[in-house]
Amino acid sequence: MNIDKLIRKNILALKPYSSARDEFDGDNATFLDANENPFGELNRYPDPYQKTLKEKLSKLKGVDSNQIFIGNGSDEVIDLAFRIFCNPGVDKALTFSPTYGMYDVSAGINDVELIKIPLTTDFQIDLSKTKQYLKNENLKLIFICSPNNPTGNIIEEDSIKNILQTFNGVVIVDEAYIDFSASESWIKMLTEFPNLMISQTFSKAWGLAAARVGVLYANSEIISYYNKVKPPYNVSELNQKAAVAALNNIALFEENKRIILSEKETLITSLKTLSLVKKVYPSDANFILVEVDDANLIYEELVSKKVIVRNRNQVIDNCIRISVGTPTENTLLISSLRNLFNTH
Ligand SMILES: *Cc1c(COP(=O)(O)O)cnc(C)c1O
């Protein structure tokens, strides 16, 4: 597959901004080149290529540093995909609904049509419905969220493989929740599929949603276009340091994940005992999709008790999405649900 052919012509031709740190990136020098203030703590521009963070991720994930892009959250990773691959008003992207809302918003901002193919009743990809779109030469980008938000399930490996093999554009597998899943990341398939991109984040299992650090794994050619298009200092020094600190404490990451997964099982068991709960969907993530008898009513009642869940009724009939909280928070949720209609 020729990746260059998929890149927008203006991006191929683009001469990227050359920052002071592009032109000299050594240390232990007298830096009078970036118009920084010589005084203070956060006075210097951050490393534009986040080398320390990438070296750590490279070791952890078994990929080269040049196969990693760090974004200002996954939001930036998604937005840049549209800007690199899709000509506004001409090219199209595709995803499987219901799924993460940012694909649609980002497509809209970039004036790209997003084709939405409904997932099957068990929230898997319907290949027979998908096939007809894959040959469209204006289709450049496919988003597959796995584990999917808001349904919580992993997308079957064979479906993703089938798409990777037959589609002539790029496929982004959004693995924001992969660390909560028993399934393996698609990172191991990068060498097999040059059109595969995997997006992960520090916002969920790593507990750094406030820091805004998203990660893209792809072949080095795709990463080089990301580097060309990104704002020069897209990830702040504070955010890079926060991500590095998290990676330096894998034990804490594992321990918090263990608690969240064990709490999830407790929550599922408790939810199933409630009469207002119609169905608890299986979850490969840190949230649970729950069908209730009246999602709008239950959502509002919980809000009145200051317990906030995500009402997904607009997306999946009478479903709410519940993030797994601390043991105390989860107990509060269950007791609130139990008492909901006793208080009237
Ligand atoms: C939460 C989430 C993200 C994370 O986005 P960030 O911008 O990195 O915080 C990405 N994808 C999906 C599907 C999510 O649910």
Q: 201 alpha carbon to ligand 1 midpoint, in Å? A: 7
pLDDT of residue 26: 85
CA dihedral 79, 81, 84, 85 (to 10 degrees): -130
pLDDT of residue 27: 85
Using a 6 Å cutoff on CB, does residue 174 contact ligand 1?
yes
Number of domains in the chain: 2
183 with 242, same domain? Answer: yes
Pure H helices in 185-236: 220-229
67 with 213, same domain? Answer: yes
139 with 258, same domain? Answer: no
178 with 327, same domain? Answer: no
pLDDT of residue 342: 65
36 with 76, same domain? Answer: yes
19 exposure class (CB count in 10 Å sphere: 0-12, 13-18, 19+): middle
Tens digits of per-residue pLDDT, 114-154?
A: 999 999 999 999 999 999 999 999 999 999 999 999 999 99
pLDDT of residue 192: 97
Q: Pick the atom of ligand 1 nearest to 71's CA.
A: 8
Q: How far is CA 65 from CA 189, 219, 229, in A?
A: 16, 10, 18
DSSP conformation letters of 9-28 = HHHHH------HHHH---SS
Task: Note the pTM of the prediction, 2 decimals.
Answer: 0.97
* Edge-to-edge strands, sheet with 310-311: 277-280, 287-292, 319-323, 310-311
CATH number at residue 236: 3.40.640.10
242 with 327, same domain? Answer: no
Answer with the one of 208, 232, 248 that is the final residue of a domain: 248
Answer with the one of 192, 226, 248 that is the final residue of a domain: 248
CATH number at residue 275: 3.90.1150.10
pLDDT along the chain (344 residues), means of 10: 93 93 88 95 96 98 98 98 98 98 98 98 97 96 98 98 97 98 98 97 98 98 97 97 98 98 98 96 98 97 96 97 98 95 58
Q: 292 alpha carbon to ligand 1 midpoint, in Å? A: 25
pLDDT of residue 344: 46
141 with 20, same domain? Answer: yes
Using a 6 Å cutoff on CB, does residue 200 contact ligand 1?
no
pLDDT of residue 264: 98
pLDDT of residue 25: 83
315 with 225, same domain? Answer: no
Using a 6 Å cutoff on CB, does residue 104 contact ligand 1?
no
Pure H helices in 2-154: 9-13, 20-23, 51-61, 74-85, 102-109, 127-134
324 with 267, same domain? Answer: yes
Beta bridge partners of 117: 96
Which domain covers residue 132, as residue numbers?
Answer: 3-248
